[in-house]
């Protein structure tokens, strides 16, 4: 697996660097928000730029990631499954991070930023509840209030996480509009931010939203890719994997993972849910403050995503992913619910790891592709296992 | 009809009621009712599935309209057959505008006789393409200013807005409020100092008293949720007309003439 053609230098130099001044990744991104929110977005951008350049902020964040979130997370070779599939599969274990998913990486960064800005309250949307739980956790840790917006359909599906958020002292606000899932929770969080911008900080859960969020969230998640790059170097004689695979809802665990490998020869693969596959079935649109690929009808009304994984039930994709797709640097594929459920079971029984339904999308594609031209025998594959499956037990009990 | 010229010619405080296109089968009858009540312009909402700046009343109106199978093309087709003698402005979100292209969208508005366009999720930094498309098609792109807008930005919004300037009275979303926000007067006064274009306060203007109070600082008001609540509750066009006429009367009694004249 070394006959991959080298990437053009231009791509390597510019891929996954800063967006343009207007927050664009190619034609995507931007800041499509009501005038009321423009000063707030500009303030977040200014605060992030100064914090990210401040060694003390970076030290504080690194320390929280280590002593609170438990980083670095392990890189686990999957011995039995690899043998079955005829590939060499390494798992980046974000399920072992505190609160059970990669969401904590981003949230600790943003919560520290909110405190640096003098804000007293975090607002967040959540789908599976993982970002909500992470936000509630960071709020408790840093002495902030937290209000979490969650579609009422997701509240039914993810009751365990709803209880966790409340335990942590957060207020959970059900959202009854539209499809009553993640997209509606995002819209509602934006609406609420307008009314309380002075005190509240909007803690966006993925690489989406108005500039600077897609860029900032990717930077806070790049710890996944940076750690994995170092860990993989000691596991593999080739130094870098041939394939880097992650699931994509908004795309934050994928963006953070890709950021660590974009300057290598690794093929980057994002796996969406079939019912929320914005790259395969979406068109260019503007939603939640950014331009990207979005599921929508001929009229431009936003489509409803459908997935067994609440965290992938999102009709759009982060703007940087749309750009990586256009440039060909990353490829986006999709899998269906049945493949995902089979993948959860297979990983549990071969490796003793119970992965989240979201994360299992990445694995489902690997299982399907292994041994084909898409993922040849013997390939070295790094997969980000974005979260653990405890939250999905009741959903799985219904289908298994 | 040119929106700004027509507003200037009104020589009274401006009353701009809102209706969600397609909210009922007879929704255009509300346009006629508004005109009869003394509207100086009418804002027509083109419903979007994810209205970011709208509160529950307009959200519900949008959902009802979409469930009825409303589309931009259907609304514009109905509007183009009307002759109510009042200028019209469309209010919608950018995804619907860019779905075909800003140019095609503005052309369709112009062909239907809609002379103004308000797109709240397009701030200054994202507006250039839409501004050009609106200009090419003779549509006035109305920009919004908010209580949080810093002074230099207010001046730029005032300079680039066409038709009028939509002054968002409150840091929040559309919906009825008990009182006019403190932020309203200050924003309108700052805008009036920056421009001689009409300055209209909207969002949260719910009663005749609010309209009068807002018009002490501004050239007039947009009234939305307060009307849409009535429409959703089943008020007939005549009933809505009679209520809106009381707002017209209150404005005319309080203000002998417009500040614009
Ligand atoms: C475990 C897990 N993985 C992935 C996601 C999807 O988010 P993203 O695409 O931003 O990584 C979620 C979202 O809730 C999640 O909980």
Q: Which residues contact A163 (CB under 8 A, 6 or more apart)?
A: none
pLDDT of residue B257: 66
Task: Pick the closest to residue A153 from A313, A33, A293 (CA basis).
Answer: A313
- The enclosing H or E element of A138 equals helix A130-142
- The enclosing H or E element of B226 equals helix B225-232
Tell the residue number behind the tokens 């909500």, with chain if given: A132
CATH H superfamily, domain B13-142+206-260 = Aldolase class I (3.20.20.70)
pLDDT of residue A7: 46
Task: Pick the closest to residue A379 from A183, A243, A239, A228 (CA basis).
Answer: A243
Mean pLDDT of A354-372: 98
Mean pLDDT of A201-214: 98
Is ligand 1 within 6 A of the CB of residue A359? yes
Give me the residues of B, 166-185, that contact A with CB < 8 A.
168, 171-173
Distances, alpha carbon B117 to alpha carbons A188, B32, B68, B202, in Å: 24, 20, 23, 15
Task: Pick the closest to residue A272 from A180, A186, A336 (CA basis).
Answer: A336
- The enclosing H or E element of A38 equals helix A38-52
Tell the residue number behind the tokens 């981003």, with chain if given: A106
Q: What single string gives the DSSP state of each residue in A151-167?
A: EHHHHHHTHHHHHHHHH
A274 is catalytic: no
**How many residues are there in chain A?**
400
Examine domains A24-65+103-213 and A70-101+222-399 and report if their fold is the same: yes
Residue A157 has pLDDT above 50, yes or no: yes
B54 is catalytic: yes
Confidence bin at A340 (pLDDT 50/70/90): very high
User: pLDDT by residue (tens digit) across A283-323?
Assistant: 999 999 999 999 999 999 999 999 999 999 899 999 999 99
3-state DSSP call for residue A238?
Answer: coil
Q: Are A220 and A105 in contact (CB under 8 A)?
A: yes
pLDDT of residue A198: 95
- Residue B150 at interface with chain A, using a CB cutoff of 8 Å: yes
Distance from CA of B176 to the nearest CA of A (A): 14
Mean pLDDT of A5-29: 76
Annotated active-site residue in B43, B140, B190, B213: B43
Provide the residue ranges of all domains of chain A, joining segments of one domain with +: 24-65+103-213, 70-101+222-399
Mean pLDDT of A29-38: 98
What are φ and ψ of residue A63, in 5° steps?
A: -65, -45
Beta bridge partners of residue B80, listed in sequence order = none
Q: Which residues contact A228 (CB under 8 A, 6 or more apart)?
A: A75, A92, A257, A260, A261, A382, A384
Confidence bin at A14 (pLDDT 50/70/90): low
- Residue A43 at interface with chain B, using a CB cutoff of 8 Å: no
**How many residues are there in chain B?**
261
Residue A10 has pLDDT above 50, yes or no: no
Residue A163 has pLDDT above 70, yes or no: yes
**Fold topology of A70-101+222-399:** Rossmann fold (3.40.50)
pLDDT of residue A190: 96
Chain centroid to Cα B132, Å, comes to 21
A166 is catalytic: no
Structure tokens at A275: 């019912």
A33 with B123: Cβ contact below 8 A: yes
User: pLDDT by residue (tens digit) across A54-84?
Assistant: 999 999 999 999 999 999 999 999 999 999 9
Average pLDDT score, chain A: 95
What's the CA-to-centroid distance between A311 and ligand 1, angstroms?
A: 5
- Residue spans of chain B under pLDDT 50: none
pLDDT of residue B168: 98
The arrangement of strands across the sheet holding A24-25 comes to: A24-25, A28-29, A290-294, A283-287
User: pLDDT by residue (tens digit) across A105-143?
Assistant: 999 999 999 999 999 999 999 998 999 999 999 999 999
CA angle in degrees (0–180, nearest 5) for A240-A246-A252: 110
Mean pLDDT of A171-198: 94
Alpha-carbon distance of A78 to A385, in angstroms, equals 12
pLDDT of residue B2: 83
User: Does the domain formed by A24-65+103-213 have CATH 3.40.50.11540?
Assistant: no
Q: Are A229 and A262 in contact (CB under 8 A)?
A: no
């Amino acid at each position: 697996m070394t006959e991959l053609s080298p990437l053009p230098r231009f791509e390597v130099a510019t891929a996954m660097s800063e967006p343009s001044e207007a927050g664009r990744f190619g034609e995507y991104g931007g800041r499509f928000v009501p005038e009321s929110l423009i000063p707030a977005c500009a303030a977040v951008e200014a605060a992030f730029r100064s914090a990210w350049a401040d060694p003390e902020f970076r030290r504080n964040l690194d320390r929280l990631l280590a002593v609170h979130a438990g980083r670095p997370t392990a890189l686990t070779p999957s011995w039995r499954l690899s043998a079955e599939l005829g590939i060499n599969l390494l798992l980046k274990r974000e399920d072992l991070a505190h609160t059970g998913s990669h969401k904590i990486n981003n949230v600790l960064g943003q919560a520290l930023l909110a405190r640096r800005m003098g804000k007293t309250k975090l607002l967040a949307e959540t789908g599976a509840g993982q970002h909500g739980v992470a936000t509630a956790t960071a709020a408790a840790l840093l002495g902030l209030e937290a209000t979490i917006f969650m579609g009422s359909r997701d509240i039914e599906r993810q009751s365990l996480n709803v209880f966790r958020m409340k335990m942590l002292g957060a207020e959970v606000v059900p959202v009854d509009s539209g499809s009553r899932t993640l997209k509606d929770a995002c819209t509602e969080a934006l609406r609420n931010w307008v009314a309380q911008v002075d005190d509240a900080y909007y803690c966006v859960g993925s690489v989406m939203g108005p500039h600077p969020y897609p860029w900032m969230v990717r930077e806070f998640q790049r710890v996944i890719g940076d750690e994995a790059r170092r860990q993989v170097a000691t596991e593999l004689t080739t130094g870098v994997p041939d394939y880097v695979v992650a699931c994509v809802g908004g795309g934050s665990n994928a963006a953070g993972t890709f950021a660590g490998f974009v300057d290598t020869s690794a093929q980057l693969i994002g796996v969406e849910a079939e019912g929320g596959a914005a790259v395969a079935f979406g068109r260019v649109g503007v939603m939640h403050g950014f331009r990207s690929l979005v599921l929508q009808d001929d009229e431009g009304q936003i489509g409803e995503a459908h997935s067994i994984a609440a965290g992938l039930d999102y009709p759009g994709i982060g703007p940087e992913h749309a750009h990586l797709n256009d440039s060909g640097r990353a490829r986006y594929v999709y899998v269906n619910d049945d493949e995902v459920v089979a993948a959860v079971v297979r990983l549990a029984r071969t490796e003793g790891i119970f992965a989240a339904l979201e994360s299992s999308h990445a694995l489902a594609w690997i299982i399907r592709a292994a041994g084909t031209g898409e993922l040849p025998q013997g390939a070295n594959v790094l997969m980000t296992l974005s979260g653990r499956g405890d939250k999905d037990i009741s959903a799985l009990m219904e289908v298994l | 009809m040119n929106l700004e010229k027509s507003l200037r010619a009104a020589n009274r405080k401006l009353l701009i009621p809102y209706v969600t296109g397609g909210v009922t089968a007879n929704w255009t009858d509300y346009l006629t009712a508004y005109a009869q009540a003394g509207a100086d312009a009418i804002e027509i909402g083109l419903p979007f599935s994810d209205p970011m700046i709208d509160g529950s009343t307009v959200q519900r109106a949008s959902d009802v309209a979409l469930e009825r199978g409303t589309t931009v093309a259907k609304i514009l087709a109905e509007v183009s057959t009307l002759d109510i003698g009042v200028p019209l402005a469309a209010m919608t979100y950018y995804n619907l505008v860019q779905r075909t292209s800003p140019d095609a969208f503005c052309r369709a508005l112009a062909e239907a006789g809609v002379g103004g366009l308000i797109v709240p999720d397009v701030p200054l930094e994202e507006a250039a393409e839409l501004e050009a498309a609106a200009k090419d098609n003779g549509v006035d792109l109305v920009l919004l200013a908010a209580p949080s807008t810093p002074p230099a930005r207010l001046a730029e919004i005032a300079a680039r807005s066409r038709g009028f300037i939509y002054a968002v009275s409150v840091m929040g979303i559309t919906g009825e409020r008990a009182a006019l926000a403190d932020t309203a007067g200050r924003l309108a006064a700052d805008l009036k100092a920056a421009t001689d274009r009409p300055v209209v306060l909207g969002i949260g203007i719910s009663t005749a008293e609010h309209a009068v109070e807002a018009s002490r600082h501004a050239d007039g008001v947009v009234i939305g949720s307060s009307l849409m609540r009535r429409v959703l509750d089943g008020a007939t066009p005549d009933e809505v007309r009679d209520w809106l006429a009381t707002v017209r009367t209150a404005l005319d009694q309080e203000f002998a003439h417009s500040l614009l004249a």
